[in-house]
Amino acid sequence: FLSSNSEDQRTQILYRASDLLAAGFRSGTINQIGINLTTKNSAFPFENLNVKLGCTNKTQLSDTVWEPTSVVYTNAIIFTTVLGWNDFILQNTFDWDGVSNIVLEICWDQPDGFPSTGQDAVSASTVNYNCFHSRSAGSAVGCNLTVTGSQVYQILPEMRANLCAAPPLPVT
């Protein structure tokens, strides 16, 4: 998933609201997202890494389209993964309504000709729907990769988030 074997990569992961609620999530403002690495094989940091979030009513991902997302975290310099939880403190928070499914996108763009060094494995479970959509390439811009040559999988990476309570509704 987080592979420095890939010079450039774009990945979207669909988390169904029903699964999030069953795991204890609640509606509110997400200000931190984490991915749990079970194996650390990448030797170099990831450059120009972006984390994006979006809501959708789709129940699975397709390899013919990327779902709309907005940037919530960006690191133009470097991001070095560690074994265990890798948390991203969001620069732009994300309000989740507790009903919509969430799309998490992670993409990066290593310099052209960057050496391949290994793939980090994440804690994940197998599901019965297409929840993981990914494409990698060389000499491209990872976050701008098109769907051509992308693939979908039924592997759902473990994710954690810090949620603040939803803001109160306006009083009229």
Model confidence pLDDT, tens digit, residues 48-89: 899 999 999 999 999 999 999 999 999 977 888 899 999 999
**3-state class of 106 per DSSP?**
strand
Query: Does the pLDDT value for residue 3 go beyond 60?
Result: no
d(C-alpha 133, C-alpha 14), whole Å:
9
Band of pLDDT at residue 140, cut at 50, 70 and 90 = confident
Alpha helices (runs of H) in the chain, residue ranges in sequence order: 17-22
Alpha helices (runs of H) in 11-126, residue ranges in sequence order: 17-22
Query: Does the pLDDT value for residue 154 go beyond 90?
Result: yes
Q: Are the CB atoms for 24 and 45 separated by under 8 Å?
A: no
Q: Per-residue DSSP letters for 1-19? A: -EETTSSEEEEEEEE-HHH
